[in-house]
């Protein structure tokens, strides 16, 4: 089953929205296979956002993400990467549709509460960067029995 890396940014922690956001993923049916609160280092964040180096928002973005602890998690489920991205909404809070995390809870172009991996390849790299193998757990199929039809060769 596909995995994706999510972290709830310092504004989500400070605004006490961690529970609300995790609840959405649990209710959708994702399994949380890794979860921790961590203060990311500036060096780590610069690497994480390397694709944005040189852009006008890169420095303020780094300052924002290191400004306090984040809650990092690995979510597992069918099409996890794209489903989580849809649940997040658009990058800018004011552009995001109601019903999405950013659409319901954010207005800012920067303080947008959440990061989610944007491709399956990125997800694999980001999961490894945030979590060691022994920090990730396995679920038995019983846990997702009523999330998917598991009578076929792969979950439907």
Q: For 97, which DSSP code?
A: P
* Contacts of ligand UDP in 6-65 (CB under 6 A): 57, 61
The residue (of 57 and 139) whose beta carbon lies closer to ligand UDP is 57
Distance CA 51, CA 45 (A): 11
Q: For 112, which DSSP code?
A: -
Distance CA 152, CA 14 (A): 44
Nearest approach, Cβ of 41 to ligand UDP (angstroms)? 18
Place of tokens 């552009």: 95
Rg (CA), the chain: 16
The residue (of 46 and 110) whose beta carbon lies closer to ligand UDP is 110
Q: Which does 91 bind (CB under 5 to 8 A by kind): ligand UDP, Mg ion, none?
A: ligand UDP
Nearest approach, Cβ of 118 to Mg ion (angstroms)? 5
Q: Which residues are catalytic?
A: 115
Q: Which does 57 bind (CB under 5 to 8 A by kind): Mg ion, ligand UDP, none?
A: ligand UDP
Contact positions toward Mg ion, by CB under 5 A? 118
Q: Per-residue x/- marks for ligand UDP, 107-136, CB under 6 A?
A: --xx-x--x--x------------------
Count other C-beta atoms under 10 Å from residue 142's C-beta.
8
Provide the token pair at 2: 């596909």
Q: Is 82 in the site for ligand UDP (CB under 6 A)?
A: no
**Strands, E assignment, 15-120:** 31-38, 70-76, 114-116
Residues near ligand UDP (CB under 6 A) are 57, 61, 91, 109-110, 112, 115, 118
């Amino acid at each position: 089953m596909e995995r994706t890396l999510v972290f709830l940014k310092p504004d989500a922690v400070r605004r006490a929205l961690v529970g609300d956001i995790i609840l959405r993923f649990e209710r959708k049916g994702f399994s949380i296979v890794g979860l921790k609160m961590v203060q990311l280092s500036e060096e780590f964040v610069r690497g994480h956002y390397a694709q944005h180096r040189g852009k006008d928002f890169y420095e303020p973005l780094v300052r924002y993400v290191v400004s306090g602890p984040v809650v990092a998690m690995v979510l597992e489920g069918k099409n996890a990467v794209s489903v989580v991205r849809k649940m997040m909404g658009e990058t800018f809070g004011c552009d995001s549709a109601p019903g999405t995390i950013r659409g319901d809870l954010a207005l800012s172009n920067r303080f947008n509460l959440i990061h989610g991996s944007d491709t399956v390849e990125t997800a694999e790299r980001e999961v490894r960067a945030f979590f060691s193998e022994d920090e990730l757990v396995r679920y038995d199929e019983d846990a997702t029995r009523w999330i998917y039809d598991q009578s076929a060769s792969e979950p439907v």
